[in-house]
Chain A
Amino acid sequence: AQSVAQPEDQVNVAEGNPLTVKCTYSVSGNPYLFWYVQYPNRGLQFLLKYITGDNLVKGSYGFEAEFNKSQTSFHLKKPSALVSDSALYFCAVRDVSRSGSASKIIFGSGTRLSIRP
């Protein structure tokens, strides 16, 4: 069965420093991978996705993520954090090799990112 794990409940970073939010996944075939961000009392907003091609994916708000097949990881990164990046971040995975009812997107438990001034 497909699964996704976000090992850190919270990540704290000083403004201006680089940030990393970790995500690992498990699928039987090839994955589609996604990152979403959730601001307080709002729905999830799409940040970026990996489908195929270049392992480094660039997304909204200066975020990027690197797909590492050997480590089954898709960590979210940003070179210089902003206070406004403080939010809840979700990683999600979909197993490309499965169709129909088995092709659902599964979300991780979320990582709260806190950027201090």
Chain B
Amino acid sequence: NAGVTQTPKFQVLKTGQSMTLQCAQDMNHNSMYWYRQDPGMGLRLIYYSASEGTTDKGEVPNGYNVSRLNKREFSLRLESAAPSQTSVYFCASSDLDFYSGNTIYFGEGSWLTVV
């Protein structure tokens, strides 16, 4: 059981380049999330998908787009990378069951540097 798998693990981009971070989960979870982690800022939610076919903005969506390709996969796209998007990106997933206090499970992270 791989859990949440995200690729690539490391990436260096030039300003203005585009790229897509891929994420897949094998836990049959309905909800998926993209967070970014910056020193002293904790984790900030970029976008999330409560269920297949839906996506919503989080705290810091500007400069990003997402696609919920199917129940397993949730990708994050940077259309025109900027140095401010240098960060560690985490994909996560959870059950949709609102009343059970669903636990979020995280991938191992993607280190992105924009030069």
Q: Which residues of A contact B (CB under 8 A)?
A: 6, 9, 32, 34, 36, 41-46, 49, 51, 90, 92, 94, 96, 99-101, 103-110
Contact = CB atoms under 8 A, between A and B. Distances in A.
A51 B101 contact: yes
A34 B41 contact: no
Contact of A44 (B90, B98, B101): B90
B78 to A, nearest CB: 20
Interface centre among B92, B98, B100 (most CB of A within 10 A): B98
23 contacts: A6-B42, A32-B101, A34-B104, A36-B106, A42-B109, A43-B4, A43-B106, A44-B90, A44-B92, A44-B104, A44-B106, A45-B106, A46-B104, A49-B101, A51-B100, A51-B101, A94-B101, A100-B50, A104-B58, A105-B104, A107-B42, A107-B43, A109-B40
Contacts of A94: 101
Interface of B: 4, 35, 40-45, 48, 50, 56, 58, 90, 92, 98-101, 103-109
Contacts, number: 53
A20 B45 CA distance: 27
A51 B103 CA distance: 11
Nearest to A108: B42
Contacts of B48: 104
A44 B88 CA distance: 12
Given A44-B106, A46-B103, A90 B43 contact: yes
Contacts of A41: 109
